[in-house]
Structure 1
Amino acid sequence: MSDDCATARRRRGPARLLLASLTAVVLLGASGCGTADPGRPSVVVTTNILGDITRNIIGDEAEVTVLMQAGADPHSFGVSAPQAASIEQADLVVYNGLGLEENVLRHVEAAEEAGVSTLAVGDAVDPLTYTAGESADEPDPHFWTDPERVGAAVGLIADQVIEHVEGVDRAVVEKNASAYGAQVTGLSSWMRKQFDTIPSERRQLVTNHHVFGYLAQRFGFRIVGAVIPSGTTLASPSASDLTSLATAIETAGVKAIFADSSQPDRLAQVLKHESDIEVDVVPLFSESLTEKGKGAATYLEMMRANTRSITKGLTTE
């Protein structure tokens, strides 16, 4: 930690303790969010996918507050005033970046200006750009669909925690990161074996919006198109977009459309009816974890569920 950052942190001390205490009271019992403990180091994470990854790395070494609730849309979720305050009072803020958290980024930028250490994970894991649609040539924030990039992210987060969060045990964090990184490596190998059962001519994806570019690059899929031709769920397709995609589906012989389980699949169903071929609509957990017991409560569970669904959707006759 630099001398300037250390000085800034000391200046925030009394106010920070008071505000953290007030924030803890307001957030007590809030679904999906950790509660702040003024006596412990604090790490705030924007999305629940990164929150799960970060918690596996930190363990009990610091208080981890995750802003995005289970099942929320990272493109549109917002934060309360106490949550915004917790961002500025954190020792470290971990966020996705690359334009994903569209309603939260200004709070992260305010925290940076106040001297809080931040980590934009997506920017640091060799990000891709969209290759088609309204978002073509813009950065693609959905890096977590590639487990190898997540493996790199584990090391980055661990390094930042050790460097910027006072009071954590370096050895414990490194041990946690190593163990979790090994699980992510195992996930990647397992996914490849599952996807290898899909004939090459069937490795074609149609999704509700452009979200699986990283998975496609890593495991050899072709993106036929998306119902919403954008990298964000906040966009909407036109009638001509749906017609063009229906034509592409018919030409490619695609057998399934994959729609995010947290979003209504109405558009995918409309597209299905626009096409002359039989197409299944298969739900995936693409941008948010679920509550426990709902199929994707952790990153590892989410990716295994998606792998099974994609494999089944593209191999079923």
Structure 2
Amino acid sequence: MPGRSRRTSTRLLLASLAGVVLLGASGCAGSDDEEDRPSVVVTTNVLGDITRNIVGDEAEVTVLMQAGADPHSFGISAPQAASIEQADLVVYNGLGLEENVLRHVEAAEEAGVSTLAVGDAVDPITYTTGDSADEPDPHFWTDPERVRTAVGIIAEQVTEQVPDVDEAVIGKNASAYEAQITELATWMRQQFDGIPAEQRRLVTNHHVFGYLAQRFGFRIVGAVIPSGTTLASPSASDLTSLASAIETAGVKAIFADSSQPDRLAQVLKRESDIEVAVVPLFSESLTAKGEGAATYLEMMRANTRSISTGLGTE
């Protein structure tokens, strides 16, 4: 009996080891399949959501910027840098937005990776006021019409640069998403039509809504941070000048990015010595699911409601 028990134990041990070997082989095969899958890497989460709607299941889409991150200041890890170098296509905003990521994108491009600077391809505008005057404005996504143009450009590059994707599927996905953006733009215009022309004045925590202003007939009175980047800081004279502009224009609300503390906007509120609301907007980053702006479409609808409420009521 003891010998039989030992033989039985030996057989069970060998069977277990065989199972481990087979499981390990299966796991390696799965990893190889994932590595062989076409890869698109996207820098910002706004572009990431747009790209995922276009690509669908045709390729692996990796988004570098997490929910709530500031595109001007976010950095990437070593594994994320490696993913850029190994991608079939890198989609990035450009126009100076991703200040800490651009060198990785440029290095990948020099190594032969296909890249797409979306902002450069959608008829960018320049800032008109503040420290960044005459520099290109990277915040094109606040204009849904330009985003609709971007969808077609991204779809074209995906079909040309990413191997083994189904062009018909990419085209179908892009058309369906373009229809949603068209519906969004129409709805936004209807909402903004309720704001009297003389009240369509925007003050924000930094210059981010120039494209929206151009598309829907708003005037940018100024920004708490007189720059296109959140990395800048306002001076005392900046605050004084802006307070004077607000008083002259009779602005009813200041719009501050929801991912940033609105301390500066509150300071300006005190400096201006007038009653003005501080209204949060989702300007440069999507949020986690359930926090108000988990997708591009949700973000734009939330901002439209906030602007309409902040400026359209007496």
* TM-score, length basis structure 1: 0.89
Aligned to 1:226: 223
> Is structure 2 residue 249 aligned with structure 1 residue 252?
yes
How many residues end up aligned between the 2 structures?
286
Aligned to 1:189: 186
Answer 1 or 2: which has greater helix percent. Answer: 2
Equivalent position SS for 2:293? coil
The 5-angstrom pairing of residues 54-69 of structure 1 reads 54-69=51-66
> Is structure 2 residue 234 aligned with structure 1 residue 242?
no
Equivalent position SS for 1:167? coil
> Is structure 2 residue 91 aligned with structure 1 residue 115?
no
The 5-angstrom pairing of residues 116-155 of structure 1 reads 116-155=113-152
Deviation of 1:315 (Å): 1.5
Aligned to 1:52: 49
Equivalent position SS for 2:76? coil
Aligned to 2:67: 70
Match of 2:210 among 197, 213, 220: 213
Equivalents in 2 of 1:190, 1:160: separation in Å? 29
What stretches of structure 2 of length at least 5 have no aligned partner? 1-26
Percent of pairs with identical residues = 85
Instruction: Look up the equivalent residue of 1:225 and give its one-letter code.
Output: G
List per-residue Cα deviations over 1:76-123 (Å, max 9, x = no partner).
000000000000000000000000000000000000011000000000
Match of 1:293 among 270, 290, 300: 290
Equivalents in 1 of 2:152, 2:108: separation in Å? 23
CA-atom RMSD in angstroms: 1.5
Equivalents in 1 of 2:168, 2:142: separation in Å? 29
Aligned to 1:80: 77
* TM-score, length basis structure 2: 0.90
Equivalent position SS for 1:162? helix
List per-residue Cα deviations over 1:219-274 (Å, max 9, x = no partner).
00000000000000000000000000000000000000000000000000000001
What stretches of structure 1 of length at least 5 have no aligned partner? 1-20, 26-35
Deviation of 1:276 (Å): 2.1
Instruction: Look up the equivalent residue of 1:307 and give its one-letter code.
Output: T
Equivalent position SS for 1:38? helix
> Is structure 2 residue 156 aligned with structure 1 residue 159?
yes
Aligned to 1:169: 166
Equivalents in 2 of 1:153, 1:257: separation in Å? 29
Equivalents in 1 of 2:191, 2:181: separation in Å? 15
List per-residue Cα deviations over 1:112-149 (Å, max 9, x = no partner).
01100000000000000000110000000000000000
Deviation of 1:277 (Å): 1.4
